[in-house]
Amino acid sequence: MTQYWILIAKDHRGRQKGAQIPAQAVIERRVRYGIWFINPRNPYARRVEQGDRGLMLALGKEGNQFMGELTINSRPIPADAALESLKEGVPSTMLTHYLKVTAILWPKPKPLERFLHRLEFVKNRSKWYAYFQGSLKPISEETFRAIASDP
């Protein structure tokens, strides 16, 4: 049975001192390489299955927005040395596993604020940011479809 997820990327501190990498650029790179780094200790990581679907969410100074959707093509896999070079910086350098994904970026990102009322796990809308710790959150199929199909 297909499960649905929000996969979260935040602004990164680059490998070079003082370099900032916007969350949107992190997502674009992951889409290009067909990978998504995750923490295997995330409470939901064990539930991820091949064929699951997800929405990519960028959280950062350039805006909080859904950027596209993806299909997960693997269970979590330990990252090898070759994949280490694809990590953008902190916090990705702390993540030890990845998912293979097939993803598409939407032509126009969708602001998170427009959909906060649809996210079941956000109980206090004024402190929404507290609910986006980690890089993986489960959502219902209905929520996935509502966000994905909204123009």
User: pLDDT tens, 19-39?
Assistant: 899 999 999 999 999 999 999
Annotated domain spans of the chain? 4-149
CATH architecture classification, 4-149: Roll (3.10)
Weakly modelled stretches of the chain, pLDDT under 70: 15-16, 18
Distance separating alpha carbons of residues 137 and 35, to the nearest angstrom:
17
91 CB burial (10 A radius; 0-12, 13-18, 19+):
middle
- Reported pTM: 0.91
Q: Which of 151, 6, 138 is nearest to 69 (CA)?
A: 6
Bridge partners, residue 136, by sequence: 7
